Amino acid sequence: TGFIGPRGMRIYLFLRGFLGSNAMILLYYAVLQMPLADATVIMFSNPVFTSLLAWIFLKERCTIWDVVFTVFTLTGVILIARPPFLFGGEPTGIEGDYTNHIKGTVAAFAGAIGAACTMVILRKMGKNVHYYLSTWYYAVLGFIECIVALFIIDEWTMPSCGWDRWNLMAIGILGIAGQMFLTKALQIEKAGPVALMRTMDVVLAFVLQFLFLNRSPTWWSVGGALCVISSTSGVALRKWYNSSRQQT
């Protein structure tokens, strides 16, 4: 497949790698600042923003339902963030400092936008680019960016604990595997079913957070998660239904 890609697709490959790696970096930062499930919920609201960006850049149709789903998504994010100017006072059930919680919310939201841009770019490239090449750009550009950033902030160190090293390697392997499967899925299946299956990330985040981190979600987080899942599922089902009807 080569390492650079087709001439007309290189700019899209670069943007896919740059935006995709930055979205993942923002997600990792958000997970450190707020509960895992909350960060995952906000991050995986990206299918709604994918529809809006596809309408802007790919000239795909945008309906009133897309606006409704967007409002539901933003409502879910607000329920998770719980800004004081809307809810009054210091919110309860926040893990750690509330300032860090807001930082995590902003990072996860920005990551969701970046992930949505990545989805649109992948859809634009389609099957013109091998999915391994798309993942290659994501990995290499993210690697270069992290190396430069770590040297600038002087945080380039090897973890002294053996388990931390194994965890870091597991993050790398599982993260790259997830990107490969996602890219391949978008090539062989419609975006609707793929986005619908990805909402399972939210459910798994709540379950794994409870099992391994002993962290129970608040009712505000559950309500926000339901709003986001409803909107992303609605987007996926509507796209799936429309594409199936066009084929028949």
Residue 129 is predicted with a pLDDT of: 87
Q: What is the DSSP string of 222-246?
A: HHHHHHHHHHHHHHHHHHHHHHHHH
Highest mean pLDDT among 10-14, 99-103, 119-123, 198-202: 10-14
Residue 140 is predicted with a pLDDT of: 93
Cα 97 to its chain centre, rounded Å, is 24
Highest mean pLDDT among 87-91, 105-109, 190-194, 202-206: 105-109
Residue 3 is predicted with a pLDDT of: 84
Q: What are the C-alpha distances in Å from 185 to residues 87, 179, 193, 196?
A: 40, 10, 9, 12
| This prediction's pTM | 0.74
pLDDT of 86 over the 60 cut = no
Residue 195 is predicted with a pLDDT of: 66
Residue 46 is predicted with a pLDDT of: 79
- Phi, psi (5° rounding) for residue 80? -75, -45
Q: What average pLDDT does the chain have?
A: 82
- Band of residue 183 on the pLDDT scale cut at 50, 70, 90: confident
Nearest to 128 by CA among 62, 183, 194: 183
Mean pLDDT confidence for 83-107: 72
pLDDT of 178 over the 60 cut = yes
Tokens 């949505």 -> residue: 116
Q: What is the DSSP letter of 112?
A: H
Residue 191 is predicted with a pLDDT of: 63
Please write the tens of the pLDDT for every residue from 137-165.
988 999 999 999 888 888 887 777 778 88
Residue 15 is predicted with a pLDDT of: 94
Highest mean pLDDT among 57-71, 140-154, 159-173, 184-198: 140-154
Residue 85 is predicted with a pLDDT of: 53
- Over its C-alpha atoms, the chain yields an Rg (Å, rounded) of 19
Residue 144 is predicted with a pLDDT of: 93
Rounded to whole angstroms, how far apart are CA atoms 201 and 213?
16
